[in-house]
A = this chain, B = another copy of it.
């Protein structure tokens, strides 16, 4: 079921600014037994994105009730929320009284191979770069052509994900995942002040580190840093964690710390693929 501004539907107004300019935000939320996981965190990020883009935030009770309606019958699946600035006349200028468009849609659970979770994944380096813009960095906005182009670079089912660099050769993230590396007892993830999406699972992983006696660090990372890492893993809200086993000729173990973080996340009930 798809709810558009609260009503079941399957189409949106042709003058919606989400279509014309990518003028909006989205959230992708795993659902287990009718319950969207980490709902508060996703709504917090959506609200923060609204503040950044100056889009009117939806009423959160209303949004929650609509979300529950859409995922009521779901055993395991995905809830996607799209929030656009709404409809307008032609032109970049947004009307002051724009009414945001709220889309809540259900999607099936993605059928990634079981071994992505249990063994780990092979990852490639994408040629498509992430552009830098501090005003858009971190939020999950609808301008996603860079991810679309990056994901179109390969068709090999043996490659699960592609990592993307920014224009200054810093490693930022995967096309649909955030990236972590382990060096000794330090967990490091790329700094996202100029590009990238600050994922919900990324925050959860960062918070998990000190519980396990690790130090979590946000830093600028280069390919050389990944090459020198003990362990690498990817994460997002849907997949949880995938250990990286191969990237640019180097092989990595499904390491001790990746395992412990995964266990800890399992315990806290934030993984949908449990």
Contacts and interface: CB of A to CB of B under 8 A. Distances in A.
Copies, count: 2
A133 B128 CA distance: 9
A128 B132 contact: no
A151 B93 contact: yes
Given A19-B84, A21-B147, A93-B151, 17 more contacts: A9-B14, A12-B14, A16-B19, A21-B144, A22-B143, A23-B145, A28-B90, A53-B145, A90-B107, A91-B110, A94-B148, A94-B151, A94-B152, A131-B195, A132-B132, A135-B149, A142-B145
A179 to B, nearest CB: 16
A19 B13 contact: no
Given A16-B19, A54-B152, A144 B11 contact: no
18 contacts: A2-B14, A4-B14, A10-B14, A11-B12, A11-B14, A12-B14, A19-B82, A19-B84, A21-B142, A22-B22, A53-B148, A78-B90, A80-B90, A89-B107, A91-B110, A91-B176, A131-B136, A133-B146
Contacts of A84: 19
Nearest to A54: B152
A21 to B, nearest CB: 4
Chain A interface size range: 35 or more
A22 B53 contact: no
A33 interface: no
